[in-house]
Amino acid sequence: MQRRYELKAVIFKALAHPMRICMLDKLKERSWCVCELAMEVGINKSVASKHLSQLKAAGLIEDEKRGTLVEYRLVAPCILDMAACAESTILDNRRKRLDFAAAR
């Protein structure tokens, strides 16, 4: 049981940076090599590689070598659905609190 909680913590840690979430969004569309993805999101290739390493260590993405090219792909698209669900719930609750406060 402890190992499952540790794995979940690793996943949430990997999600704890806006750029990694952005990269996951891009990887949901299609597979990308690190050079293309770095250019697409506007960061240096070495920075992109570090982010991709964390996402891979968390098990959210996989890489595949094609000659000298390494392509990354999302293997857990449900993680983005979970994030969207949480975001929507939080925003709805904030709106309800603001509406309640305004009605007072």
What is the rounded distance in angstroms from the CA atom of residue 62 to the CA atom of residue 97?
Answer: 41
Domain boundaries, the chain: 2-75
Domain 2-75 in this protein, CATH class? mainly alpha
Res 103: pLDDT: 83
Res 101: pLDDT: 80
Name the more confident of 104 and 82: 82
Per-residue pLDDT reduced to its tens digit, 21-33: 999 999 999 999 9
pTM to 2 decimal places:
0.85
**Mean local confidence (pLDDT), 45-74:** 95
Res 74: pLDDT: 97
Tokens representing 57 are 């260590």
What is the rounded distance in angstroms from the CA atom of residue 19 to the CA atom of residue 41?
Answer: 8
Q: Which are the contacts of 5, defined by CB distance < 8 A and separation ≥ 6? A: none
Res 102: pLDDT: 83
Name the more confident of 68 and 42: 42
